[in-house]
Amino acid sequence: MILSAKQIEKIQKEAYRLGFVACGFTSLRKFDKEKTRFDKWLQSGFHGEMTFLERNAEKRFNPSLLGESFRSAIVVLMNYYPKEKTEAGKIPKVSKYAMGKDYHTVVKEKLCGLQQFINDEISPISGRCFVDSAPIYETRLAVDAGLGWKGKNTLLINKKYGSFVFIGEILSDLEVSENPTVEPNHCGSCTRCIDACPTGALQPDFLDATKCISYLTIEKKSYEKPDKLKTQPWVYGCDICQDVCPWNQKPEPTTIAEFSPKQFLLSAGISEWVKLNEPEFKNLFSDSPLLRTGFKRMQRNLKWIKNERGS
């Protein structure tokens, strides 16, 4: 079924009602150029311990392989920038995307609601909802759908909402008559994100994940950290390359209640973090992305911060 302009508008209207801030459509294609760059990146070892990136490379750069009937993607963005501010100078810090409930659950529930709407109001479709849950080059899909451009911080940047957005998509047998106009890259000669990266992880043409604070505090499983790399004040993730971006200087707070920060993350200092035992940690973060890293590695991250501060 080829979607008409009126049907596309109807789907977008429902997406906005559900809380998404952008909704675009694109036919599926192979990302051959991107795959070549990715293969070289893997061969250079810049992915570190993230061995899962070595699997399903063909699917990652050819999304139609995720379903025989899949022809297009409906790509949505959800703003997660929190209304509440953390206390000034608070250590340790947690990346903004992880301050509230796990985005995988929140975004996917609303995305599946959009798919049900299409089944009920447009036409029954064969499709699947994805939220960072399959080998999909989501940033490229979002660019193809006209929702922004890939910034020098490697993230999607939307003209209105910057980079503080989650990406989700419905891959299905729906078809679009033509793809939207791709948003030009508006980074220009700006290198603020690259210049601000404290570990040198961001390079002009690539990201060395093994030096990235987000990688070190979330993905790295081993307990040893290169001496020259500092992670403080971050205990989980890092927002530096986003906070300095000109497109994020006037952020519009999210309207999604589930992304409201946990009070503990807004004010707790190292002493409060250290007092947490494992059951308390699991109870506090049972619905949070922080649970993925686990109690022991969070203790490791706290130890790194304390050692760097000499306390």
Query: pLDDT tens, 293-307?
Result: 999 999 999 999 999
- How far is CA 82 from its chain centroid? 15
DSSP string covering 127-144: EEEESS-SS--HHHHHHH
Residue 244 falls within a domain, yes or no? no
Residue 50 falls within a domain, yes or no? yes
What does each C-alpha distance from 38 to 42, 60, 209, 282 come to in angstroms? 6, 10, 13, 35
Residue 223 falls within a domain, yes or no? no
226 band by pLDDT with thresholds 50, 70 and 90: confident
Q: Indicate whether 225 pLDDT > 90.
A: no
Mean pLDDT of the region 138-164:
97
The CATH number of the domain holding residue 11 is 3.40.109
Segments forming the whole domain that contains residue 15: 2-85+95-176
Q: Please say whether the dihedral angle defined by the alpha carbons of residues 123, 124, 126 and 130, taken in this order, is positive or negative.
A: positive
- pTM of the predicted model as reported, rounded to 2 decimal places: 0.96
Residue 42 falls within a domain, yes or no? yes
**Is the distance from CB of 169 to CB of 135 less than 8 angstroms?**
no
Report pLDDT for 186: 97
Give every CB contact of residue 208 below 8 A, 6+ residues apart in sequence: 46, 200, 201
Select which of 132, 144, 195, 243 is catalytic. 132
311 band by pLDDT with thresholds 50, 70 and 90: low
- Would you call 286 exposed, middle or buried from its count of C-beta atoms within 10 A (0-12, 13-18, 19+)? exposed
Instruction: Clarify whether 132 is annotated catalytic.
Output: yes
Residue 157 falls within a domain, yes or no? yes
Based on the structure, what is the number of domains in the chain? 1
On the question of a cis peptide bond just before residue 279, with omega within 30 degrees of 0, the verdict is no
111 band by pLDDT with thresholds 50, 70 and 90: very high
Residue 31 falls within a domain, yes or no? yes
Query: pLDDT tens, 40-73?
Result: 999 999 999 999 999 998 999 999 999 999 999 9
